[in-house]
Every structure is written in structure tokens, then in C-alpha cells.
Amino acid sequence: MRLCSKSTLSSFCGLSKTRASRRFGIRNIMTGRQDLFEYTLGRWIYNEKLRLEERQLYFSVEGLKKAATRALNQPESNVQSLRKLAEGGFNRIFELSMKDGTSILARLPYPSTLPRRLAVASEVATMDFVRAHGIPTPRVLGYAVDENHVGSEYILMEKLTGRPIGDSWFELSEQQRHQVLHDIVQLESKLFNMRLPPSGSIYYTHDLDSDTARVRIPEAGGQFCVGPYTGLRWWYGKRSELKLDRGPHMNTLRVLHASAEKELAWIDKHGKPRYPFHRQHREAFQYVKQDPKVHAQSLEAYLRVAPYLIPEGGELEVPVLRHPDVQPNNIFVSEDFRVTSMIDWQHAIVLPTFLAAGIPTSFQNYGDPESRSFTPPQPPAHLDSLDEVERTQVIEAYRRRHVHFFYLGFTQRFNKRHWSALEDEMDIIRRRTFDHASEPWEGLNTPLQYDLVQVIENWGKIAHPDHDGHATTCPVSFTPEEAQRIDALDDLHGDADGDMEAINDLLGIGPDGWTSNEHIQTAKKKASEIQEQALASADDDPWLREMSERHWPFDDFDEDE
């Protein structure tokens, strides 16, 4: 059954849409002492117990005060207050205020945040390194990755000037958005102009164990180096227990191969049949568990085509560091909307340009034909003739086109190497194939299969001739029937994802079921009403009703099944 029929969606359109503010918002949080250790910013409508357990963080308050005052060269008695300032999926941030009016921020990762030790060490080094290259980031005042009196790893940072644009991003004027995008692209151009020898993550040389592979960054006099990737996909779901080649990689083909070899090693050790993690995808497979061996076959096929995914010329193989999550909540601006800082460099990695390229998710609008064709957006007309819902939809569509267009426009003007990658006709196929080959397998075999079909269909544009100038033959193949089946499955997944996104917006929740404390009961009530309508539509098919109820996407579920 469809998650929600057109008529069901229409019947709920009159309900107030509540955008899940966790996407972009940082809020001040009033806390008691116990709340320092628990997540209190929001709620989840399903699997809440798991999400809260992941975010429990016990530490020594007195130890944190001592660390903060030591970093500021002040006595501990100068601490006037400690409060929880913000919290997200991986860290909790505290503000410690001193009697002389100064403040310091403490960022503590949850015990569930991976990789232990390396994530903090790399984030500190990355912030210091890019700051030295003109990227405004918080100044690190102290940090710890080993056992300490705080009882947790931590980073101590200066309190920033400016404000995050997350809470106001959707209300900015065109000119304000224009200014922010201009500054972001200018800063990105500085990142693209940095010269880094290999792919991996940045560290202070002294923070890596002596037996950990690293390549020193020459211009830094040996102080900085590139070591193992800290990207979460390298450590997630028992991958941290595997002996893997996590970099650094001087060779582009090793970058392409190592990511897939990681998944093959995990499948060999831990893989077992399971349902797709995202429950809206399960009906396409008749609610049958999927075999990881199928994905392993796709990974082997990917390894055979990987050498041909590397663009000719070498320019797009140059390693580049990008901010791991360019989104409004991580951008601080001044009163006149000039970017004053970029925060949250956790899990930042260095990759070859053609793999690192791409419009940040918060700015891209590839689902829109005008955006895909790089067409200048036209301001909406005749808004007065539309009702409130239609007017909101038209304005939002224009905002998305505006952001997409001007990010690309500024990139074309100020960041030539990034633009060269983006204008490559095969850029998205190359990058998407690499991403799907390297992301953790969670029961969905279709994405990489679909990518391989696309590689085959575009082989003449992707593969370069051999040394004798002869056309090369694609080393993988699908029968027409297999390709058609994969295309059909991909369409089903896309439809299901569209339904899920629409319902999440109606419920006012994020992709993982998060919503604000104030909205939780309303979201649960709406979800229950939608479930009643959806199940009623399957009354004439007892099996489908049973499966739909068992796999309902807004109920608690076993995430490893």
C-alpha cells in the first residue's frame, strides 16, 4: 500500500504545517543539573528511548569548570554560571560564563559518537588549519582526547560573535540570501585553493599514535598531517572493529576501492538478511528481507568500473577539504548578513575534487527542472490570487530556485575548480556511484544497482579510450530485463520517499521522527489519524493491512532487523 494516498494527503492539507526546527535551529535551553546530562531540546515520535540513550552524557561538572578556567588562565572561583547552550546528534555544547564577563564554550561528544578520540582530534586540527587559511572558525582554547578529570573528550572554544542564520533562513530577503551565499562560496574557494597531498582527514601530527598512517602537510612544517578518515561511514555499525585501510590515500583509485572494500569486509563479517532500514521502501520488496550478498555482488561490479570513474586530465583528482555539513545552522552572520564563522567541522574529510564536489544539500534543488537547467528564477506573479497554502508553496519553490541558482552562479564566478567538476556532464553519476558504494549497507540493494545501470547506459561518456585510442568495453552488464526491474524499483523508492517527505512536513517532524517538545503530542495525534486512514484503505487485503501495520513508519521498531 502507499504510505499515504493522494486523498489522504489532501484531507490533511488544511492542518497547520510545522517545519521541524531542529533542521536549522539552535535554541537556548533552560536546564536543571540533571538536564546537563540528558537530551532536552526535542522529542521523537518513534524509537525515542534509543535516541535519548544515544545522547546521554555523564561528566564531571567540576572537572569541566576546572578545564575551562585553566584554558582562560583564571581561578575556578571565577565561574559564575554553566548552562547547556545547544545539543544535536553527536555533541552537547555548554557555555561557561565568568565573573569578568568573558565566556567560553565547551563541546562534548556523546559516548556514542564515532570515531572515539579521532573525531575530536581531527576536528580541532581541521579548525586550526582552515583558520590559518582565512576561514573564520571558532578559536580552540583547549581540548582533550584521552582520559581526563572531565570524564569526557571535549573541545573548549571561544564564544562567537554574530548569530546562526538557522532560525531565520526561511525568512531572509533575496538580498540577504544573496549576501550569505556570496560569502559562503568565497570561503569555499579558499578551501579549494588549499594544497593537501592525500585524501583522508586532518590531524595534529602529535595526536596520532606512532603506528597510525599519516602524510605530513609540507606547508605546515610537519605540525599538521592527513591521517585516517573520520567520516562516520568508516566507523558505523561495528566497522570500527574491523581492520581496514582507512587512509590516507595518495592514489585516487585507492580512494574509490577502499570505500567499497570496507563494505565488503563488513558484509563478510556481520552481514545478514534484513529489511530496508527506511520502512517506506519495504513494500517494494513485498516485505521480504534483503540479502547482503546481492549488495556484495554490486560492490564487486563497482570495483571493476571504478578505474573508469576517474576523470581525465588530473585537475579533478586534486584532493580538497570541504565543510562536512554546509547548512544554515552552521553559518554565523553579522547584522548585515556577512558570514562571520563556519562551525561544526566534525567528520570533515579530504577527497579528490570530483568526489568532494557538489551543491550542499541545504542549497540544492535538483528536483526542479528550472534549477537543473541553471535557469534564472523568475519572481512569482499573481500571488494575491492564490490561497494561503498555494501562496506558501509558490514562494517556497521560488526560494529554493533562488538559492540553487545563486550558489551555482557564485561558484562559476569565484571557484573555478569546483565549477569545472559541477559542469562535467557525468559528475553526478560518478559521485553518486561512489557514495552508494561506500555508504553503510542497511538493507537496500537498489541504489548501487541503479547507479551501475546508469554507468552502463552512459559508458561512452564516462570511459576514456585506452592507450591506443580504442574504445573500452564496460566490464559489467545487466540484461534488459534486470535493468528494467532496477529502474522500476528506483521509481518506487522515489515515490515512497516523496510520500514520506510530504507526511513528515504535515506532521512537523524531521526524517528521524524528531520534533519540538511543544509539538510532540500534536504530531503523534496526526500520525495516528493518518495511520487509521491508511489502514482502512487496505481493509480488503488482510495480508497488506497486516504488513502495513507491522512496518508502519511512525511506530517503534527494531533498527537492526
H/E element, 175: helix 174-193
User: What is the separation of C-alpha 468 from the centre of its chain, rounded to a whole number of angstroms?
Assistant: 42
The CA radius of gyration of the chain, in Å to the nearest whole number, is 24
Q: What span, in angstroms and rounded, lies between the C-alpha atoms of 393 and 361?
A: 19
Measured CA to CA in angstroms, residue 305 lies from 7, 49, 256, 482, 506 at distances of 44, 43, 10, 18, 42
Burial letters for 513-532: b for 16+ Cβ neighbours within 10 Å, e otherwise?
Answer: bbbbeebbebbbebbeebbe
H/E element, 142: strand 140-144
Contact at 8 Å (CB) between 29 and 517?
A: no
Quick one: pLDDT at residue 367? Answer: 83
H/E element, 140: strand 140-144
Question: How high does pLDDT run on average in the chain?
Answer: 92
pLDDT digits (tens, 9 = 90+) for 302-351: 999 999 999 998 899 999 999 999 999 999 999 999 999 999 999 999 99
Quick one: pLDDT at residue 2? Answer: 54
Highest mean pLDDT among 6-15, 29-38, 104-113: 104-113
Residue 4's pLDDT band, with cuts at 50, 70 and 90, is low
Q: Does residue 83 have a pLDDT over 70?
A: yes
Residue 421 is given by DSSP the state H
Quick one: pLDDT at residue 234? Answer: 98
Q: Nearest-CA neighbor of 51 among 540, 366, 510?
A: 510
Domain 57-159 CATH (choose: 3.40.50.720, 3.30.413.10, 3.60.20.10, 3.30.200.20): 3.30.200.20
Q: Does residue 29 have a pLDDT over 60?
A: no
pLDDT digits (tens, 9 = 90+) for 109-166: 999 999 999 999 999 999 999 999 999 999 999 999 999 999 999 999 999 888 999 8
Q: Does residue 28 have a pLDDT over 50?
A: no
Among positive and negative, which fits the CA dihedral 154, 155, 158, 164? Answer: negative
Q: Does residue 22 have a pLDDT over 60?
A: no
Q: If 0-12 CB within 10 Å is exposed, 13-18 middle and 19+ buried, where does residue 432 land?
A: middle
CB neighbour list of residue 216: distance below 8 Å, 6 or more residues apart: 205, 222, 224, 225
pLDDT digits (tens, 9 = 90+) for 538-558: 889 999 999 999 999 999 999
pLDDT digits (tens, 9 = 90+) for 208-258: 999 999 999 998 788 999 999 999 999 999 999 999 999 999 999 999 999
What residue spans define the domains of the chain? 57-159
pLDDT digits (tens, 9 = 90+) for 499-552: 999 999 999 999 999 999 999 999 999 999 999 999 999 889 999 999 999 999
Residue 3's pLDDT band, with cuts at 50, 70 and 90, is low
Q: In the structure grid, which three cell numbers stand for residue 322, read together? A: 570541504
Measured CA to CA in angstroms, residue 108 lies from 61, 330, 376 at distances of 12, 17, 43
Q: In the structure grid, which three cell numbers stand for residue 531, read together? A: 495511520
